Amino acid sequence: MEKKYLTVALTKGRLADKTLDLFEKIGITVDEMKDKGTRKLIFTNEETGLRFFLAKGPDVPTYVEYGAADIGVVGSDIIMEEKRRVYEVLDLGFGKCRMCVCGPDKAGELLKHHEMIRVASKYPNIARDYFYNIKQQTVDIIKLNGSVELGPIVGLSDVIVDIVETGSTLKENGLKVLEEVCPLSARMIVNQVSMQMDTERISKLIFDIKEQLGK
Amino acid sequence: MKLSDSGKKLLHTPEGLRDIYGEELKIKGNVTGKIRREMHLYGYEDIQTPTFEFFDVFSKEIGTTPSRELYKFFDKDGSTLALRPDFTPSCARCAAKYYMDEKEPIRFCYEGNAYTNTSSLQGKQRESTQMGVELIGDDSAFADAETIALLINSLQSTGLSDFRISVGNAGYFRGICENAGIDEETEFSLREFISGKNFFAAEKLLEESGAGMEVSRNLLGITELIGSQDALERAEEYADNEMSMAAVKRLRDVYEVLGQYGLEKFVSFDLSMLSKYNYYTGIIFKGFTYGVGDVIATGGRYDDLIGRFGKNSPAVGFMIPVDALLEAMRRQKIKVELPEKATVIKYNEEDYKKKLKKAQELRSEGKSVRMMPE
């Protein structure tokens, strides 16, 4: 039978770099991947039987749910938004930031009553869940694909729901954090079937990473 | 708009629904035939229930499908009806209705389509074929083992060999929760986190709920109770109450009986396998194989369900989502023998009578014949 690789989907960008650093610390190196000029899409580490590829964040849980990747590393914002059926096994501790409701100072008043307001977000599911189930406020949700901060500035929406890291973009645009929805960080997710069929290898990997994170 | 354009619009089916025809349907028929034969070999009897029933039959207290995922509509007199999302509630209803005073165990098997109104763009079919069994009126470990053995034999009969049945027991988790006095709401969230192997979310929840150190350790430990028999040994260490101990013992008993069937090598344990709803009361199991991201079987013991229809009777059963199984077989390139192709007999107006006679002869011998004009 052909050799079965464990396939890992990484989120393109900073998250991937940090994940690879972490893997390196537990003795799994993929030198090819560090070469930024490469056009290869998939990278193999033969001795450990691991395969890596890069994907856009929202696609990582999809690859993992369908078993195209056994393991994925992705921000918890995307896990919450996509609601895929995957095991969420580890908090990797990096990529920390917060999901917040933001807007101009005066919009704070709108959140105190159950008034109907307009909310712009790249994360309509998270926004809906927060306003409907936690705040019990009826809202109109507008899905945007980037520069969400524009929403309140040009009058498209009253507030936005977005990721806040340092808050400097908000500040420069006269917005501020009004409420925190939840803290966020990078997570390791595992396909449900892989977890059952390849328990030993995956458990060992989780164990090794957990130990490394504890250091 | 031209007529041909409007005609074209009717060609495709709504999202999540599809046609099955030709070779694919032949394969499907072959596979379901083999599975049904296994079910009959174990003495299960076919049952057909209505495609839609009163909504209450599938409601929150009884079913496992969230009510917003049911297809609901109204009857002439205004009562709410729902398309069946699975067969178990209907089988439970039948057991109570037709076998109220039956003391002997009842064995049902079924095959048919079920419907769920799932969200779009998730690549899930809204109509799917399910096959399964219910063994009603027997609460022994033998009954548990029989359903698992029948499931393994059914999957084997299709030609699948590389698969695993992962078994847990709902009583284990419930025992620890009850012992610790954890409230229902926390238990519900905890069940979701633990079955999602989401260790840290469960940890945070327990911290917030003010559970003691030992309770937290026992509950969080469940996420790691996955593997072969060693998982059961570890499970015994964490079990701090009778119900949990009994749950582990039941798993050992079932494993032993499966050893007598000679099928234990297909079985592993996962104590963190819990259903989101408080539906299963004893063993819970799922079938996994390579090639699909979905399970190829689900099952377990639900001793309280039939009581909801007025007959207090324990029950255990499983369901195979046939479409997922076929997908896995396709990915694993498992060959399915197809029925012989029909012999073609060509005819023209003059020799039709002669050719027809020949065709009928072959048909009476059991051969398929297709008559075609020259």
A90 and A106 fall within a common domain? no
A82: left (phi over 0), alpha (psi -120 to 50) or beta: alpha
From B374's Cα to the closest Cα of chain A, the distance in A is: 49
- In this prediction, residue A1 carries a pLDDT of 39
pLDDT digits (tens, 9 = 90+) for A7-39: 999 999 889 999 999 999 998 888 777 777 777
Predicted confidence band at B216 (pLDDT cuts at 50, 70, 90)?
Answer: confident
What is d(CA B154, CA B143) in angstroms, rounded to the nearest whole number? 16
What is d(CA B163, CA B326) in angstroms, rounded to the nearest whole number? 14
Considering the domain boundaries, does residue A199 fall inside one?
A: yes
The two tokens of residue B148 are 């698992």
The two tokens of residue B333 are 């390139």
A190 and A89 fall within a common domain? yes
Beta-carbon separation of A200 and B227 below 8 A:
yes
A195 touches chain B (CB under 8 A): yes
A111 and A152 fall within a common domain? yes
Q: How large is the greatest C-alpha to C-alpha distance in chain B, in angstroms? A: 93
B chain contacts of residue A89, beta-carbon cutoff 8 Å:
197-199
A70 and A10 fall within a common domain? yes
> Rounded to 5 degrees, what are φ and ψ at B201?
-65, -40
Beta-carbon separation of A193 and B196 below 8 A:
no
Domain that holds residue A177: 97-182
A200 and A178 fall within a common domain? no
The count of structural domains within chain A is: 2
- What domains sit in chain B, N to C, each tagged with a CATH number? 22-41+85-107+118-331 (3.30.930.10), 343-373 (no CATH)
Q: How far is CA B117 from CA B26, B62, B72, B125, B261, in A?
A: 27, 18, 10, 9, 39
All residues at 6 or more sequence positions from B52 whose CB lies less than 8 Å from its CB, including other chains: B73, B81, B82, B83, B84
A chain contacts of residue B199, beta-carbon cutoff 8 Å:
89-90
A207 touches chain B (CB under 8 A): no
- In this prediction, residue B215 carries a pLDDT of 82
A chain contacts of residue B201, beta-carbon cutoff 8 Å:
88
In percent, how much of chain A has pLDDT > 70?
99
Residue B112 host element (H or E): strand B106-115
Beta-carbon separation of B293 and A66 below 8 A:
yes
What is d(CA B276, CA A1) in angstroms, rounded to the nearest whole number? 37
Torsion of CA B124, B126, B130, B136, to 10 degrees: 110
Considering the domain boundaries, does residue A205 fall inside one?
A: yes
Considering the domain boundaries, does residue A1 fall inside one?
A: no
Q: Which residues pair with A182 in a beta bridge?
A: A99
Exposure of B198 by Cβ count < 10 A (0-12 exposed, 13-18 middle, 19+ buried)? buried
Predicted confidence band at B3 (pLDDT cuts at 50, 70, 90)?
Answer: low
Beta-carbon separation of B295 and A89 below 8 A:
no
- pTM, rounded to two decimals: 0.85
Place of tokens 């917003």: B68
A155 and A206 fall within a common domain? no
Q: Which residues pair with A120 in a beta bridge?
A: A142, A160
Domain with A80 in it: what CATH number? 3.40.190.10
Query: Dihedral sign, CA of B274, B275, B280, B286?
Result: negative
All residues at 6 or more sequence positions from B45 whose CB lies less than 8 Å from its CB, including other chains: B107, B108, B109
A43 and A84 fall within a common domain? yes
Say yes or no to pLDDT of B84 above 60: yes
